[in-house]
Amino acid sequence: MAIYHGRASAKISGGKLRSNRHKKRFELGNEPTLTVLGNVKRKQVRGMGGNTKTALLRGNEANVTDPKGKVTKKAKIINVLENIADPHFAQRNIITKGAIIVTELGNARVTSRPGQNGRINAVLIKK
């Protein structure tokens, strides 16, 4: 099922809005890609104008940056500690931007959008 990003057919008050045109293809969106903890699996998604995005469906490694030393290392993800997007995402090990993950190097906050750019980047946080 497609996601529609156009104007709603109802007013805020609940009244009906009459449409002066039909839905257009460029107003359609995609279902959200919920990146889960697991063996790496990516998918190419076609966008407007033939452009492509790499969606990360499953991932188990993150590029973790230490803000003090400005050093980036690849670390294995152990668990999803907390996710501000949805409290239930942490229980389901879903990784989105802003999620706090437990890595080999310590706890880190995800700074990339794995479902949009195909990788997990994170920054170490203080304990």
Q: What is the pLDDT of residues 34-74, one digit of tens each?
A: 999 999 999 999 988 999 999 999 999 999 999 988 899 99
Residue appearing with tokens 């497609």: 2
Of 82, 127, 121, 76, the residue nearest 101 (C-alpha)? 82
pLDDT of residue 70: 86
Q: What is the pLDDT of residues 86-119, one digit of tens each?
A: 999 999 999 999 999 999 999 999 999 999 999 9
72 Cβ partners below 8 Å, 6+ apart? 63, 64, 65, 66
Which residues are paired to 107 by β-bridges? 102
